[in-house]
Amino acid sequence: MNEDELKAKLPDSVASRVQSLKAADGVVTVVLDVAGLEPANRSGIEMAVKEMLGEAEGVSEVRVAMVADRPRRRIIAVGSGKGGVGKSTLTANLAVALKRLGHKVGVVDADVYGPSQPTILDNKGAKPEGRGEKLVPVPSPHGVPLLSMGHLVEPGQALAWRGPMAGNAMAQLVDAHWDDIDLLLIDLPPGTGDVQLTMLSKFKPEGAVIVSTPQDLALIDAQRAANLFESGDVPIIGLVENMSGYACPHCGEISHPFGEGGVEDASKGTGIPFLGRIPLAMEIRAASDAGKPPAAGDGEEAKGFHDIAAKLSNWLEAA
């Protein structure tokens, strides 16, 4: 029997766990992925494989090796060309919305210029502990654990980090005890500096989301951020337009202080998908400052975040 025929003897539930199957001189060596199985089930599956393949014609011995690789952790980077466009606000709210969609999400706040995630996700003042050589992420009331540059240094200090130091700090935040977290959102510093380069070389994200406000200048910067990811072979999942139209709290009239539809137009020009827009709303700013990301609720301000999170979730599913 050849290797394919041997594999076909296994039921689908077992065959799906076969990482490799080799047969030579009557000896069959099977590597099984047993991640997530209880010890009793692991030995059960091992015995079953030995029994089923041992009966096959020409097989004198079956060797089974079991591996339990850590679950694949997927990384999505959130970047922008410049600061203050709402990248951190978007990252936190997407994390909370993705959590509500059933993902096990963690956030890495690598923004040396303004590590604001501990404020937005409401675990300011908490310090991560170390276990062995690595940090343990700090839980947040929204069910999204976090490691932030702001956890490592006093506010304002991270800014003094230059080059490799900032890169090393971000590596510590990513290479931490994330345990069962299967999706990490990385809130990058604006621009295209050392933190981005470390990320691309050490923890290449599966995709990137770029945030921009509608002004022309912000868009040019966003394009530069997109170029960086593309040069690193990281697909751009899409562009988000933040602060896109202001609803007057008195009369409800929508005005467009930074222009209208610029990011969507830009995305058409570049072929990068447009993921959606988040209006400029006083409530979003106030909620962020208060550590209550709107996406944790179901109010009007939550909608845009939930829509974009659903698109991200679909992208992850299809990737």
Asked if 284 touches ligand ADP (CB under 6 A), the answer is yes
For 289, the token pair is: 């400052």
Return the number of the residue (71 or 191) whose C-beta is nearest ligand ADP: 191
Strand order in the sheet with 18-24: 18-24, 27-33, 61-67
Is 117 a residue that touches ligand ADP (CB under 6 A)?
A: no
Contacts (CB under 6 A) with ligand ADP, residues 227-246: 242-243
- Express the helix, strand and coil content of the chain in percent, nearest 5 each: 40, 25, 35
Alpha-carbon distance of 319 to 313, in angstroms, equals 10
Q: Which listed residue (278, 296, 302, 312) binds ligand ADP by CB under 6 A? A: 278
Q: Is 281 in the site for ligand ADP (CB under 6 A)?
A: yes
- Cβ atoms of residues 96 and 142 within 8 Å: yes
Cβ-based neighbour number of residue 273 at 10 Å: 14
Alpha carbon dihedral 222, 191, 196, 311, in 10-degree steps, equals -30
Using the rule CB under 6 A, which residue among 84, 163, 297, 299 binds ligand ADP?
84
- Report if residue 86 touches ligand ADP, rule: CB under 6 A: yes
Of 169 and 284, nearer to ligand ADP (C-beta) is 284
**In this structure, how many other beta carbons lie within 10 angstroms of the beta carbon of residue 107?**
30
Smallest separation, CB 267 to ligand ADP (Å): 18
**83 near ligand ADP, rule: CB under 6 A:** yes
* Span of 54-62, 122-130, 172-180, 280-288 interacting with ligand ADP by CB under 6 A: 280-288
Given the rule CB under 6 A, which residues bind ligand ADP? 80, 83-89, 114, 116, 242-243, 278, 280-281, 284-285, 288
